[in-house]
Chains A and B, each alone.
Chain A
Amino acid sequence: DALLPAPQNISILSTNMKHFLTWSPVIIHGETVRYSVEFQGEYEREYANESWIPICECSLITATVCNITEDVSATVAYKLRVRADVGARRSEWGTLKGFFNRITTSLTPPPMKVIADGYQLLVDLEDMGPAFQFYVLYWKKGQESRMQQKVVEEVRSMVHLDTMEAGPEYCVKAQTYVEVINRSSSFSQTQCVRAQGGTSMWLV
């Protein structure tokens, strides 16, 4: 039996603190190839005899991607490796070149929707997970110098920003901040709205 080749092109896709290990498939005609993934944090390298820890959700899987977010949950350098199995045959480990530290995750501007509910300026933010806070900036168009900021620690529902005057446009932009890696995304596109002049009902 020829030795099973180790998986190649091992890389990390990490966006908004969600981390995935991917690799190229090992092709063995007429056979189903399965893969297993292990990780090693800095603690394991320095204090636990360089031990490796298996990720059971990614043991003997046929997919060529593994979600490692739950395991890479400290801001230290991790090593990752994957090997292939076909029946009783097993490859050597393919190891990610270098290390992965979640501090390098790419942070995208947050999706947001600005709403004028009568004279109320609201913003609808997407929940991106417990690690994320939002910095929301809002201002009256033309008065950028009087920009105001609201920090949103947890997204539960619509966020109320201000009560608008009739007439001028109000503009809003937002960015995310991830405390555990002390980094922010770039700002989202600015969105501007005007108060929706509601008809007030006078009961006499």
Chain B
Amino acid sequence: GPCRVSMSMTEIRSGFTAIKANIQARDPIRTLSILSYPHSLHKVKSSDRCCIAHHLSNFYVDKVFKHCKTEDSYVNRKISSIANSFLSVKRTLAQCHEQNKCMCGQESTEKFKQILANYEGLDVTSAAIKSLGELDILLDWMEKST
């Protein structure tokens, strides 16, 4: 059967909305995108969506959130809330992957390689802040994909 991910999208979205302006203001390079360059997530085939979601939840948990600590306690608390919610999603998708419900095709592998290349093209903090600032792109895509 399909991979079922219980995700408190409303909570994650409200947490992100509360800090979006603050985070995006810390990203000076607005012309570059981590998630959408060169192609939008929306171009990913439906059969590859689960794999991309799996890769991206790992990406945010393993690479992004930890490098987004700010001097603002309120922002840090919201990032913690989002990160802990993503941790649940990451676990569920990992189980699906192990149960072969989340197969990775050529396209999703290439797409994720491109995202990593975009990320590694910047210094860690800038890349992490930019990725966090693009979280609504990911949330929109995940919501549309369900």
Interface residues of A, Cβ cutoff 8 Å to B: 39, 41-44, 46-48, 53-56, 70-71, 73-76, 78, 130-131, 179-180, 182
Q: How far is the CB of B19 from chain A (nearest CB, A)?
A: 13
Asked whether any CB of chain A lies closer than 8 Å to the CB of B88, the reply is yes
**Smallest beta-carbon distance A133→chain B, Å:** 12
- From B62, B65, B74, B84, give the contact of A74 (CB < 8 A): B84
Encode contact with A along B44-68: 1 for CB under 8 Å, 0 otherwise: 0000000000000000011001100
Q: Which residues of B contact A55 (CB under 8 A)?
A: 77
Instruction: Give residues in B with beta carbon < 8 Å to A.
Output: 6, 8, 10-11, 15, 61-62, 65-66, 73-74, 76-77, 80-81, 83-88
Beta-carbon contact of B83 and A47 below 8 Å:
yes
11 CB < 8 A contacts A-B: A39-B80, A41-B87, A43-B87, A47-B61, A48-B83, A54-B73, A70-B77, A74-B8, A74-B85, A74-B87, A182-B6
B80 and A41 contacting across the interface, CB-CB below 8 Å:
yes
Cβ-defined contact, B80 with A43, below 8 A: yes
Please, how many angstroms separate the alpha-carbon atoms of A5 and B115 in the complex?
A: 51
Known: A41-B83, A53-B77. 10 other contacts (CB 8 A): A41-B81, A41-B87, A44-B80, A53-B73, A73-B8, A74-B87, A75-B88, A76-B84, A179-B8, A180-B6
Question: Which A residues are CB-close (under 8 A) to B80?
Answer: 39, 41, 43-44, 53, 71
Partner of B61, one of A39, A43, A73: A43
Min distance, Cβ A130 to any Cβ of chain B, angstroms: 6
Where chain B touches its partner, the secondary structure class is helix
A56 to B6 Cα, complex, angstroms: 30
A42–B88 alpha-carbon span in the complex (Å) = 10
Q: Is the CB of B66 within 8 A of A73?
A: no
CB contacts between A and B, total, < 8 Å: 69
Q: Which residues of B contact A180 (CB under 8 A)?
A: 6, 8, 11
CA distance in complex: A47, B66 (Å): 7
Q: Is the CB of A41 within 8 A of B84?
A: yes
Residues in B whose Cβ lies below 8 Å from that of A73: 8, 11, 15, 81, 84-85
Question: Which of B8, B73, B74 has its CB near the most chain A CB atoms (within 10 A)?
Answer: B8
Residues of B within 8 A of A130 (CB): 10
Assess the B77–A48 pair: CB atoms within 8 A: no
Q: How far is the CA of A55 from the CA of B78 in the complex (A)?
A: 11
Q: With A70-B77, A73-B11, A73-B15 given, is the CB distance from A43 to B84 under 8 Å?
A: yes
